[in-house]
Structure 1
């Protein structure tokens, strides 16, 4: 089957809209007619080639669409079903068996290598292999091949353009607060960065009943949006001493800090923002793979601090995504307030707009 795809032919793009061939689904696979796909920061990190991606490649990992065909043995969905796509996992290792698929022992080969486990690709161009299988989908295309473990059936009336980003960015931010750090009602939360993931963390804090939610964000418009979505305070990190500003709001420090920025000069300050038994969650990807977070050991022992890395908000997607959809239906997760739609052939414009602060979450629509 031929379709149009945004093909990355070299590191850092641009993406080119080209005709490619999509294979029939094998056993356990599902071919989806993609209708919407969010653009995530991870797409752009991988597009740089820094993680070893081979070119040409098709990326995209916040897909949503309609099932077109299923391979042998698939029982969870059928052609015509509306579905969301998310990250893939093996389903057999210890973390997967403990309902922790975000920490699958085989996360990299199942999501990041650009081929199936057997080394084949689902996409070709003029008969030559194109790297795909990104997060088990590669949904910057009219069709994508996914797997039962990373496909969730949704209601027939679901708005796929709104819900597509749940598959990665939204579940990462909200899950960091609700699942990874297990926020409790009355606790205090600091969120560094108010992009799509950070705003989702803010909403997660509100859903959890956090008493104080502080957003740290340099862009004025994003600070205002954070306040609209549930933050009780917003701090401009360029306006002065960030730690003093946080301590001016919560004198004893925050129970939780979630970094979604990866901006290490501010992330490094988080160790002085937390209260006794406070916990820090690291979500944002730093600009350098060698980035480190210095921990003052004596201070850390004294206050009983915790710091941990977070992947995909510790989500078990087939359980957590329905919870997020329910929160959205109830008005507690209004992600459409920071989403902007573009056509697939506007992908480079959408990325440029995101880089220049003209949109927060870009979602590509595919006819």
Structure 2
């Protein structure tokens, strides 16, 4: 087996440790071997680390916002070839009824493929030096110098694009933008409120401006993040430490918002988000959290106002379609996601993760290959 470097998590609430692992040299027919250049850190990684995402098997290599260069492919792979530059996203089976209907984020095997720590045949590509299997996340595990993924994890991009920047398009930014583009599909002139101005929330903000929402409102408790939201096009910002967000939203929208997104996963905030809806409005709670959201009186609070609570996973995005579209928006100056990024070396992963947890940095990006030079 070949030796690689990876950030390994040994258990819940542990720090990441940089270790030497072994990676299998034999590829299955649909496998793609990727030399990793960079990876974003997502709040889902932290939810797995701290247990908010539920039980997860350890030891594990996390990371699911990877970007790198294909070095080898299995004999059945047709979507990519060695030398291609790629962004990695979630896995899906490609043959269930939802995948065949163009909804891979609703794949009936989504959790099995992405959140149970192994590939579909229960195997893993990573092992400790003494032979202990090391689990995966999103069939990707991008916090490693090399990984093996399925060809459905892969989206090929132009080699001129800086791979250090685009990994977060594989989760945080595609989730936020896709929730608007695909999940909510707001009408031109509608109002949309976003609770939480992290990567997902700001991705939703930029998408809302592209779609033509006339009143885009961002709610947070950190003044610098609200200032950033304004610079990205928010029409109104509300500091919920200083004023009642529900009252302010109702005032701005003349009764309530058409669409509301919550990215915080905090119970009282989710309740506020639901209360801020107008009659006929739709609420999308997006955070990976074990906190509760309740509707105590379904008829009085939901049915009689024809409100909708909608689950949207991964922005309902088809990665191979959505990621190139986001890159086009970025190149046109309409989706400046790279303004939200800060680079760290992979050895600084714990520092970078803490900066994400605290809100100091919107999107930390780990540089895994420091020798990479963009074209």
TM over 0.5: yes
Task: Indicate whether 1:13 and 2:4 are aligned.
Answer: no
Distance 1:293 1:204, change over 3 A: farther
Map of 1:4 onto structure 2: 5
- 1:114 and 1:259 mapped to 2: Cα distance? 27
Per the alignment, residue 45 of structure 1 pairs with 47
- Structure 1 unaligned segments of length 5 or more: list them: none
Instruction: Write the distance in 1 (CA, Å) between the matches of 2:295 and 2:172.
Output: 23
- TM-score of the superposed pair, with normalisation by structure 1: 0.96
Instruction: State the 1:68 CA deviation.
Output: 1.1
- Deviation by residue 1:105-125 (Cα, 9 ceiling, x = unmatched): 111111111112212110011
1:317 corresponds to which of 291, 316, 319? 319
Moved more, 296-305 or 318-327: 296-305
- The Cα of 1:356 is off from its aligned counterpart by 2.3
Q: 1:55–1:130: 8 Å Cα contact kept in structure 2? A: no
Distance, in Å, in 1 between the alignment partners of 2:261 and 2:147 is 32
Q: Does structure 2 retain, via aligned residues, the 8 Å contact 1:99–1:316?
A: yes
Give how far 1:308 is off: 1.0
The equivalent of 2:166 in structure 1 is 163
Matches within 5 A, 1:77-96: 77-96=80-99
Q: Is the 8 A contact 1:121 1:129 kept in 2?
A: no
Residues matched between the structures, number: 366
Q: How far apart are the structure 1 equivalents of 2:170 and 2:283?
A: 23
2-structure distance, mates of 1:296, 1:244: 22
- 8 Å Cα contact 1:9-1:56 kept in structure 2: yes
Q: What CA deviation, in whole Å up to 9, does each residue of 1:153-204 have, x standing for no partner?
A: 0001111121110000001001111110012211110000001100101111
Name the structure 1 match of 2:310: 308
What RMSD in Å do the two structures reach over aligned CA positions? 1.4
How far the C-alpha of 1:291 sits from its partner, in A, is 4.4
Q: Distance in 1 between matches of 2:124 and 2:65?
A: 19
Correspondent of 2:351 among 334, 349, 352: 349
Partners of 1:96 and 1:133 in 2: how far apart?
22
1:199 corresponds to which residue?
202
Q: Is the 8 A contact 1:174 1:201 kept in 2?
A: yes
Using structure 2 for the length normalisation, give the TM-score. Answer: 0.94
Distance 2:274 2:76 in 1: 49
